[in-house]
């Protein structure tokens, strides 16, 4: 089996940034109190994920062959056959995304979009139990998808011995297929991807007011944490109301 170039640099950069930021946001949410200034970075990570998704969606239409959404294997019959073969014999070799990874990617993308929307709605004053429950449900679905995805990669490697896990590191897959794969890893596009990512994160940091834990996002004020402010009664929570009687 020879190694064939499959995943370009922008796709791999997105993959690892997407994973890192989700882990960061999840860890902060589970370990930091929402009144702590550090909790704001949970939301900053989420907004950065949303920006990365925009870049990935663009690349999903103009990128190299196996970065494009048109290469995803989303036929339910193919997915059933893939799991059946995985248990009974050996799965068919796919140069790009196989049916399982295609569905995993779509589910994680959809969850990330839902998390960004629900998070922004809560940060603009729409916080309520329903939004929080939706946000938590999407996190759990995302987490389950990640776990299944990782387990599937390990299982695939053990059964096929094809080092599938390394394809998101060097962009290459071991395959016996008679194909040349992609002709370029698109290094310039990868550098542009990193530049846009750094620029966006820099914009968020410079637009964030740590004293009030608010973010001015493109003219919209988002509250990224619970803060106290001073009034004639002393210090009070930002959402606490007093009667004048």
User: Is the overall model pTM greater than 0.85, yes or no?
Assistant: yes
Residues 231, 244: Cα–Cα separation, whole Å? 13
Q: What is the pLDDT of residue 45?
A: 96
> Within 10 A of 224 (CB to CB), how many other CB atoms are there?
26
Distances (CA, A) of 112 to 19, 178, 228: 11, 36, 30
Asked if 171 and 160 touch (Cβ cutoff 8 Å), the reply is no
Reported confidence tier of residue 128, pLDDT bands at 50, 70, 90: confident
For residues 226 and 65, what is the distance between their CA atoms, to the nearest angstrom? 46
Share of the chain above pLDDT 90, in %: 61
DSSP H or E run through 198: helix 187-207
Average pLDDT along the chain = 87
User: Are 169 and 15 spatial neighbours (Cβ–Cβ below 8 Å)?
Assistant: no
Cβ within 8 Å of residue 109, ≥6 positions away: 53, 56
Is 30 exposed, middle or buried, given 0-12, 13-18 or 19+ CB atoms closer than 10 A? exposed
Residues in the chain: 245
Residues 148, 104 contacting (CB under 8 angstroms):
yes
Query: Across-strand partners of 174?
Result: 3
Q: What confidence tier does 126 reach under pLDDT thresholds 50, 70, 90?
A: low
137 has a pLDDT exceeding 70:
yes
**Segment 23-70, tens digit of pLDDT:** 999 999 999 988 888 999 999 999 999 999 999 999 999 999 999 999
Over residues 229-245, the mean pLDDT reads 43
Q: Work out the pLDDT band at 197, boundaries 50, 70, 90.
A: very high
pLDDT in tens, 220-232: 899 887 644 443 3
Q: What domains can you pick out in the chain, each with its CATH number?
A: 2-237 (1.20.950)
pLDDT at 229 (0 to 100)? 40
What is the per-residue pLDDT across 44-56, written as a single tens digit (0 to 9) for each? 999 999 999 999 9
Any bridge partners for residue 221, and if so which? 216
Q: Where are the alpha helices (DSSP H) in 2-128?
A: 9-31, 40-62, 76-88, 99-121
């Amino acid at each position: 089996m020879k190694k064939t170039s499959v995943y370009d640099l922008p796709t791999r950069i997105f993959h690892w940034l997407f994973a890192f930021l989700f882990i960061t946001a999840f860890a902060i949410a589970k370990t930091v109190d929402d009144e702590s200034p550090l909790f704001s970075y949970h939301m900053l990570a989420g907004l950065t994920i949303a920006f990365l998704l925009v870049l990935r969606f663009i690349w999903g239409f103009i990128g190299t062959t196996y970065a494009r959404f048109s290469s995803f294997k989303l036929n339910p019959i193919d997915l059933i056959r893939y799991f059946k073969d995985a248990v009974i014999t050996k799965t068919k070799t796919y140069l790009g995304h196989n049916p399982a990874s295609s569905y995993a990617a779509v589910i994680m993308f959809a969850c990330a979009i839902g998390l960004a929307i629900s998070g922004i709605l809560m940060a603009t004053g729409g916080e309520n139990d329903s939004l929080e429950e939706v946000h938590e449900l999407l996190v759990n679905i995302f987490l389950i998808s990640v776990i299944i995805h990782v387990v599937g990669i390990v299982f695939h490697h053990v059964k096929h011995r094809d080092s599938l896990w390394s394809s998101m590191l060097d962009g290459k897959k071991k395959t016996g297929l008679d194909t040349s794969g992609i002709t370029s890893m698109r290094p310039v596009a990868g550098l542009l991807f990193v530049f846009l990512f750094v620029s966006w994160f820099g914009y968020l940091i410079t637009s964030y007011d740590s004293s009030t834990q608010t973010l001015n996002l493109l003219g919209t004020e988002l509250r990224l944490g619970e803060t106290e402010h001073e009034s004639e009664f002393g210090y009070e929570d930002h959402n606490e109301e007093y009667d004048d009687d």
